[in-house]
Structure 1
């Protein structure tokens, strides 16, 4: 099966011709210049600081964020910057491989229209009602638990890709466990209540790396649609 052409490959030809394919050009009302907020106050998403030593304050902060916004930004989560940088580095190295075939080895091999998984390397295939596409490629796979991982979707090059992902997954699970315990306490439950209810050891963690190639018309396209 020949894989659908990646946006990265398409970008090289597009930069030379300076002509964007019509299926990537968003309607006027969806173009970045029309949708970007340029003025006025911006409401701040609640921030939860895991370095807070007063547990009562921490539980209150996460409870308020969950009940008012339903989301929050986690800071001082103890995921080392070095681990995050290594993950970003191997992701960048993968997309910068000169061999398209090597990247496609991590793609879903099912034929178009067949039973395809959500994992692997490829272009963003989601289209809206008008058939518009987004200007990005991706690499998507599970990083936990080991029983759910399909290593077909994990690049062998760069060689340190697996190590960087496994290291990041370890720290991510630790941070996630802390958040679940705080949320449990905020609900007036025992700290392990949500973890037990969710089956924390078998919770699936996914990783998605989005790659946005250079574009000659960045004011006309979107790298990610509302979701």
Structure 2
């Protein structure tokens, strides 16, 4: 059965003032009525090159407690490597449809890898205004190159270079998260799988939408991973739920956006917060983003780190295999 891609629907809808009903969100989700307009959220911006490591640790810990979200600058990934990553991703989505379908997620597959549109059960049959491509970029044993586009030819090189640079940033973030809770510097990373930690790349493609007031690129959610490192393009669209309102997040060129995910919240026994966020779409421009989800191996059991449990602070979360957590979350089952 052929799946209709949002990119195709968008090009058919170009001259219209309407979108198919399955993309129209319920009233309590529509961005026009639920966004606090005129206010752009100045989320914490952390300079990873600061000479005082203690200051970096305190800033990351505070942002992870209060916000579950922060942006990092001077992170050490050359802007050229980020530009190349964006360039090859954009080129892939501009290929003819039949060429993209070669990488489509196999029907009935348990894995998320591949090119696709639908991701999880949507309440009321509603759809998100987005297509995507998923594939693992690290460790080598987890990579399936079948899902890496052969075209453009420099796709693999750009992703491998970015993965190499990204791992250095991820290790710094894990260290800060550990030290921020008084743990040894490697404890957080070890708790999510150490060197077996899986780096899952996703490219989100949000084509122009005639009714951005009614649709969402991604519905409100928290990320299942430990945390997410995201590169956006210059078209704004990320929104965060804070103090009972939805806010637009400020775009900073060359910054990486860090989302604290569910596994870090669980490991910290709720001291760090998984951020509730969503994506809006633009009437005239294509928005794209490149999140990398740092995921524990499927069979790894995750629960609150024992050192953080006390009589006054008993465990708030169950310990379970990561794959079971994912299954429950995608199928909207209680954890």
TM-score (norm 1): 0.87
Alignment of 1:137-216 (within 5 A): 137-216=131-210
Flag the 1:187–1:219 CA change in 2: closer, same or farther, 3 A: closer
1:82 equivalenced with 2:80 (yes/no): yes
Alignment: residue pair count: 221
Cα distance change, pair 85–30 in 1 and its aligned pair in 2 (3 A): same
Highest relative contact order (Cα 8 Å, sep 6+), 1 or 2?
Answer: 1
Measured in 1, the distance between the counterparts of 2:68 and 2:181 equals 14
Measure the CA separation in 2 of the matches of 1:92 and 1:194. 34
Alpha carbons 1:3, 1:104 under 8 Å: kept: no
Q: Which moved more, 1:87-96 or 1:2-11?
A: 2-11
**2:19 corresponding residue in structure 1:** 20
Alignment of 1:21-40 (within 5 A): 21-39=20-38
Q: Which residue of 1 aligns with 2:106?
A: 109
SS in 1 for 2:115: strand
Could you tell me whether the CA contact under 8 Å between 2:134 and 2:202 is conserved in 1?
yes
SS of aligned partner of 2:61: helix
CA distance in 2 between partners of 1:23 and 1:89 (Å): 31
Question: Which structure 1 segments of 5+ residues have no match?
Answer: none
Distance 1:220 1:56, change over 3 A: closer
Cα gap change, 1:56/1:125 in structure 2, threshold over 3 Å: closer, same or farther?
Answer: closer
Choose 1 or 2 for highest CA Rg.
1
User: What is the correspondence of 1:64-103 to structure 2 with a 5 Å cutoff?
Assistant: 64-97=62-95, 99-103=96-100
Distance 1:216 1:56 in 2: 48
Residue aligned with 1:134, SS = coil
The 3 A distance-change label for structure 1 pair 115 and 197 is closer
Deviations 1:93-139 (A, max 9, x none): 00001x212101111222xxx34421110113445322111111111
Q: Greater CA deviation, 24-33 or 207-216?
A: 24-33
Q: What do the CA deviations read for 1:61-120 (whole angstroms, capped 9, x no partner)?
A: 2222233334322222111111111111111000001x212101111222xxx3442111
TM-score, scaled to structure 2: 0.61
The separation in 1 between residues aligned to 2:207 and 2:68, in whole angstroms, is 32
| Higher percent of residues as helix | 1
- Determine the structure 2 residue equivalent to 1:8: 7
The residue matched to 2:209 in structure 1 has which SS? coil
Once the two structures are TM-superposed, the CA of residue 144 in structure 1 deviates from its matched residue by: 0.7
